[in-house]
Amino acid sequence: MNILITSIGNKTNLIKYFRRALTNEGGGRIIGVDRSSRNTGKHFVDEFILSPDINANQFKAWLYATIQQQNIALIIPSRDGDLCPLSALKDEIRSLFNCTVHVSAEPALQCCLSKFRFSEWCANNEFLTPRILDKGTVKQEDLPLFVKPDSGSGSKGTRLIESWQHWHNIRESLPNNILIQQYIEAPEYTVDSYIDSSGTVRTVIPRRRMLTANGETVHGRVDMTPRLIDVTRSLVAKMAVQLGLAGHSTVQCFWHKGEAVFIEVNPRFGGGFTLGVEAGADTPRYIVREVLGRPINIPDNYAQDGLQMVRVQKDVFF
């Protein structure tokens, strides 16, 4: 089978692990597409194709022609901006080409891609989340605060406000789409989860973010804390039933006083997903097996607790 990965940019690990999955399941090709040719991912795919912008009028026709010409059986969106447009097309793509788009339903995406909506959903469904404050009613006793854009990934646009003077200096310049929350001083976790095509949560692997850079984990450690696993499983299972969350997603939370305080859900592969895969939850292979109509067999003790990962720069010569 052949796989198309969108917005490949520098996502060489995503290419690597889907290539491994294909090799283990009978082979196939990986087609990488991006609207810019200035990327490193193109050197690691079987074929790179320059694409129109996903919001351009010609994108749909271009995509459908590419699916046919390359005999694509699976599409992996890799960027937030790709998710909603491809979710809107996924049923038609399956009907026309028998091709699977690995993406959640529109209601799940609308919730996950807005930190405010996700926080509201958590509060309405009895999951802990940092308290949201209104800019006009913040009091000195509310400090410290953490402010961040309602949408976006990584740490871009985030600020920690620790002093009342700092808050006074910046509050009028804050944009309308900013989210103001209580700051929680606690270990931060990313939890990789996989929901299969029947809507069942199959794997949950928490990994502690020991060190981050630009919002991505550069040193992580698997931490199979039972309570953290159980409450995260409950959250993603409820999102699957209520909203149509599907496939691989990464849940962000704090582990605070023995409870998970949820920050956001990224309904796609995150930058540090490789630690969860190497710890035992090989989600790229699960996805490939499902597309091929093969069962996913996961042992009860599938995860290697305590496994650590450090991300380092690597030079490749060719």
Q: How confident is the model at residue 211 (pLDDT cuts 50, 70, 90)?
A: very high
**155 pLDDT above the threshold of 70:** no
The mean pLDDT of 166-173, rounded to a whole number, is 88
The mean pLDDT of 271-279, rounded to a whole number, is 95
Q: How confident is the model at residue 154 (pLDDT cuts 50, 70, 90)?
A: low
Average pLDDT of the residues of the chain: 95
The mean pLDDT of 214-238, rounded to a whole number, is 95
Which pLDDT score, from 0 to 100, does residue 177 have?
A: 83
For 101, 209, 270, 313, the CA distances from 60, given in Å and listed in that order, are 14, 38, 25, 36
Sorted by where each starts, the structural domains of the chain and their CATH numbers stand as 2-103 (3.40.50.20), 108-126+185-310 (3.30.470.20), 140-182 (no CATH)
Altogether, the residues listed in the chain come to a count of 318
The mean pLDDT of 47-57, rounded to a whole number, is 97
The mean pLDDT of 275-292, rounded to a whole number, is 98
The mean pLDDT of 4-27, rounded to a whole number, is 97
Which pLDDT score, from 0 to 100, does residue 156 have?
A: 72
